[in-house]
Structure 1
Amino acid sequence: MGAGSVGTGWGNGRAMAVRFAQEGAKVYGTDIDAERLKETIERVQADGGIIETGYCDVMSADSIKAAVDACMQTFGRIDILVNNVGGSAAGGPVEMSEDVFDSQVDYNLKSVFLSCKHVLPIMVEQGSGAIINMASTSGIRWTGAAQVAYAATKAGVIQLSRVVAIQYAKQGIRVNTIIPGQLHTPMVETRLAGQRSGGDVDALLAQRQARIPLPFMGDGRDTANAAVFLASDEARFITGTEIVVDGGMSVRCG
């Protein structure tokens, strides 16, 4: 879910689609905007990988079911599910409208619930599967801005993953969460700079880098490498836990 990107470069979804294909997976990538998938398709095919794509609006249960059905019709099974759709809205309880809060819950948390609802029966029938859900360091720490709904829903993704991991462990299904920090993805240029630094991309990147102990900022490829590991046999004894991909930011955060 969310295999495209809002701009050119290594967004999390695009990078994960490419890395999974490089490792031999047959990828079914979804997005709400077909234009966002074009570069993903090109990068996968340039490496000789296999990818099919389709539309999915994660705010719609019917759309998620249709995407799952389309993947099954295309490849006949689902071994790995990656829930990679989400986004933040600014504000605390006073500033944020009730409608925005509800939308954040649907977008960031209910979408994960719905995709698990439709994919888990398939994995149970197969007797195996790996689910990887994307959270955020905002779900475990204050990360520099009041975004109460985003923080709460991403914390919810972490706990949802833990509960589902235990419920389905006996069926051979593993569920884990990746917690990315402040990565340099296309969203920085296309969305966040306008929201947080008056459109000054360099200023925003400097602010974000200042929070990171490592002397560089990661990107979607770092998230993708964690996802490939969690989906692989090397992680066969890992479930119900999280990998933080943030250059040490959440350890030092303050």
Structure 2
Amino acid sequence: MRLKDKIAVIIGAGQSPGSGVGNGRATVLRFAQEGARILAVDRSLESAEETCRIAKSEYGAVEIEPYAADVRKEADLAAAIAEADRRWGRIDILHYNVGVSVSGNDASATEITEEAFDFITQVNLRGCVMACKHVLPIMRRQESGVILTVSSVSAWQRYPWVAYKATKAAMVAYTKQLAIENAQYGIRANTLLPGLLDTPMAVDTRATAFGKPREQVAAERDARVPLRSRMGTAWDVANAALFLASDEAGFITGVELPVDGGALVNIVR
């Protein structure tokens, strides 16, 4: 019960269609298992409701509510944050777990369109900035809080498409800024850098976009992972998020934590 009585707003609590479980849903389920009270926010209310159903029936959720919000709209994010504050009177954890690349028509530097770049930036970066804008006054008021963001090893590794790369690199810098500017208020901010994972968004989306069997995409990704030549799962990300959200990480802020099976060990910085 490492999150007993903690109030968490998890943005991106549903998941993409496909096999297995995604990062957002896995994180909701782990937080529920550890005693958190959760506002499960997603663009798809149906997907958020399914996450809540699983959390209640299989993971012993104490209290969890679905909430629909489009991260491209500041008003939606402000309303979600306000709803959590109204319902519980505080917010202990904000976890921003939303991202898009292939499905947002990301492309190389010579092929990227304005529409794709703007859309991916709105979802991956601007939505996070706006969610934090509205949660920070609450956390400053209570003089405590944890903000978790999800970047990617693509922030540092070679990656062919520009919008995802740029936004995930920006997420690292933005989270570090959050950490140092809000340390005086007792607020911690850290970012996760997932590597190659076997999730619906990562594998099924690529299989569909590139016209390949899912098994082929998964095998190609497995072969690129140093640790046991096997991708990680959403549970690896969820467990890392749980640690950083818990009091066990009470003296950790401003870090970028790779969850990547050793991928970034190959990068000299």
Give me the whole-angstrom Cα distance separating, in 1, the residues matched to 2:267 and 2:224: 7
Aligned to 1:66: 79
> 1:113 aligned to 2:129?
yes
Deviation of the 1:253 alpha carbon:
6.6
Say yes or no: does 1:84 pair with 2:84: no
1:162 maps to 2:173: no
Contact 1:188 1:201 in 2 (8 A): no
Contact 1:211 1:253 in 2 (8 A): no
1:191 deviates by 1.4
2:189 and 2:149 mapped to 1: Cα distance? 8
| Corresponding residue SS for 1:131 | strand
**2:27 match:** 16
Residue of structure 1 aligned with 2:205, choices 171, 174, 191? 191
Distance 2:220 2:21 in 1: 20
Measure the CA separation in 1 of the matches of 2:20 and 2:219.
Answer: 19
Residue 178 of structure 1 is matched in structure 2 by 192
Residue 56 of structure 2, aligned match among 28, 41, 45: 45
- Where does the alignment leave 5 or more consecutive residues of structure 2 unmatched? 1-10
Distance 2:264 2:219 in 1: 17
1:229 Cα deviation after fit: 0.4
- Indicate whether 1:204 and 2:220 are aligned: no
Structure 2 Cα separation of the partners of residues 39 and 9 of structure 1: 14
Distance 1:205 1:112 in 2: 29
Q: How does 1:92-131 map to 2 (within 5 A)?
A: 92-131=108-147
After TM superposition, the score normalised by the length of structure 2 is: 0.89
Q: Counterpart of 1:250 in structure 2: which amino acid?
A: L
Question: Residue 158 of structure 2: SS of its match in structure 1?
Answer: coil
Aligned equivalents of 2:55, 2:94: Cα separation in 1: 18
- Identity across aligned pairs (percent)? 44
Give the letter for the 2:40 counterpart: G
TM-score by length of 1: 0.95
Aligned match of 2:15 in 5, 10, 20? 5
In the aligned structure 2, how far is the partner of 1:192 from the partner of 1:250?
A: 22
Match of 1:33 among 44, 47, 64: 44
SS at the partner of 1:239?
Answer: coil
Residues 251, 170 of structure 1: alpha-carbon distance in 2 compared, 3 angstrom cutoff: same
* Cα deviation code 1:6-58 (max 9, x no counterpart): 13532000011011111111011100112212331122102221211101100
Q: Which runs of 4+ in 1 moved over 3 A?
A: none
2:231: which partner in 1? Answer: 217
Indicate the larger mover: 44-53 or 204-213.
44-53
Following the alignment from structure 1 to structure 2, what is the Cα–Cα distance between the partners of residues 32 and 77? 23
Residues 253 and 171 (structure 1), Cα distance of their counterparts in 2 relative to 1, 3 Å cut: closer
- Residue 67 of structure 1 and its aligned partner are, at CA, apart by 0.8
RMSD: 1.5
CA contact (8 A) 2:149 2:192 kept: yes
Give the match's secondary structure for 1:161.
helix
Match of 1:6, as an amino acid?
S
Q: Is the Cα contact below 8 Å between 1:71 and 1:77 reproduced in 2?
A: yes
Instruction: Give 1:66 shift.
Output: 0.8
Q: CA deviation at 1:93?
A: 2.2
Tell me if the contact between 1:213 and 1:252 (Cα under 8 Å) persists in the aligned partners. no
CA distance in 1, matches of 2:203, 2:190: 29
| Per-residue deviation, residues 47-94 of structure 1 (Å, max 9, x unmatched) | 221211101100000110011111112222110000001111431221
The separation in 2 between residues aligned to 1:85 and 1:170, in whole angstroms, is 27
Question: How far apart in 1 are the matches of 2:23 and 2:73?
Answer: 22
Q: Which runs of 5+ in 1 are unaligned?
A: none
